[in-house]
Structure formats: structure tokens, C-alpha cells
Amino acid sequence: MKTNIRIAVVEDVARVRRQIVETLNARPDWEVVAECAHADAALHEIPAAHPDVVLLDIQLSGTSGLDLIAPLKRRVRHVRVVMLTVVESSREIACAIGLGAQGYLVKQDAPDLVAGVEDILAGRTPLMSATVARQIWALLKDLHPGAVQRNSGLTPREIQVLDLTAQGLQRGEIAAALGISENTVKHHFGNIFEKLGVHSVKEALIKLRGGRGLLD
């Protein structure tokens, strides 16, 4: 992993912004290079600071953090944008990922915040509840029918297996619902994980909602 990581923070509540900055600066190899309270400051200061990661509040005063994702990614080459929120919202997550954000973290939990940034830097999926991952899966299917299969490389049967898993069914229940053996279900999971480059169902669901082109 790269050392001397440069991070920008966009948060309109001064107290919260200070807590986040202090948490991040506590890492000896991380440095917060820009602290912004509103959209105009972010668009002016962040490109000049050349951060590796931008932590962006999704609900800024007077605007939405969602509106900053695209311009920041245009102005800062290879920057990773991670949305910050106080409440997980599946629809906002889907929108943020569709606009190019790499992650979505709850700002109040300092350990999870640090772990989430570490995951982003290492190319792993950031922390997210299984409930929200399932909600994202449902939204993608509802908003973009056929897109999951078309852009993921999964077969129709693999999509069925993942869909039933997202609905909360266990391996034996999936086998019964599809009229196949549990070993066949296990085989499908193996193919799904290999194709998506993940190691768990949760990672698969999140990878699918975050895959480039999935929302086209």
C-alpha cells in the first residue's frame, strides 16, 4: 500500500470535520491536505492539494455532495471519492456509486472510518451492512433490468442464485427453490466469486452495484 497518503475532507459541521481530521491524522502515514466546509471551497482547494482520497459529506449545506463527485474526479486524476453519511441510504448509495464514488461510510464510527479508508486504498470493498448491500441489489434490478447480467458476465442461473441469496435464503433453501443439489449451488457460488474477483456474497453484491458500466 502506498505510504504518505493524502486525504481531503469535505464536511460542513466544524466539530465533525475536526473529529474526522484528527482521526485520520493520527495515522503516521496519512495527512489531511484539505479541509473544506462547502462545495465552492472543495472545488477550489482540493484539485490544488492533489489528494489520493476525498471523504465527502453526502449532505452539505446548500447542496448535495453527490453534485461534487463528477467534477472532483475530473479535476483530480485517479482520486478515490468516499461518501460520508450519518445514515445508510440504499438509494443514495446507488446514486453515488453510479456517479463514480468508490465507497460509502458512516462518519460517526472512527474505527470503521479508518478501516474503510484502508480498504479503499488497498483496492478492497469498503465496509457496508449486508442489509444495505441487499437493498442495492434490489435497486439495481428495479432501475436497470437486465444490466446486472449484461455487465457482470454471470449466467442467468448464477444471477438466480445471487438473487435468492440477496433475499436471505440459505444454500439448502436455494437448492430446493431451484431444484438442484447443494453441491451445484456451491459450484455456482465458486463461479460467481471467481468471475467477480470476490470472496463472499456480501462482496459480490457490493461489487456488482459498484462495477463500472453496471448502471449504463
Give the Cα separation of 71 and 191 in Å (integer). Answer: 37
Q: State pLDDT tens for residues 151-182.
A: 567 888 888 888 788 777 888 888 988 889 98
pLDDT of residue 137: 62
Q: What is the mean pLDDT of residues 73-99?
A: 80
Q: What percent of the chain has pLDDT over 70?
A: 75
Q: What is the mean pLDDT of residues 76-101?
A: 78
pLDDT of residue 12: 93
pLDDT of residue 104: 78
Give the Cα separation of 50 and 211 in Å (integer). Answer: 25
Looking at the predicted structure, is the pLDDT value of residue 126 above 80?
Answer: no
pLDDT of residue 32: 97
**Across all residues in the chain, what is the average pLDDT?**
80
Query: Which residues are paired to 46 by β-bridges?
Result: none
Nearest-10 Cα torsion for 207, 209, 214, 215: -160
Looking at the predicted structure, is the pLDDT value of residue 184 above 60?
Answer: yes
Nearest-10 Cα torsion for 38, 39, 44, 48: 90
pLDDT of residue 216: 34
Q: What is the pTM of this model?
A: 0.63
Higher pLDDT, 136 or 35: 35
The 3-state secondary structure of 15-30 reads HHHHHHHHHHHCCCCE
Maximum mean pLDDT: which of 42-46, 167-171, 195-199: 42-46
Looking at the predicted structure, is the pLDDT value of residue 83 above 50?
Answer: yes
Higher pLDDT, 149 or 170: 170
- The number of C-alpha atoms within 13 Å of 151 and in the hemisphere containing its C-beta is 17
Nearest-10 Cα torsion for 93, 96, 98, 103: -80
Maximum mean pLDDT: which of 28-42, 73-87, 140-154, 181-195: 28-42
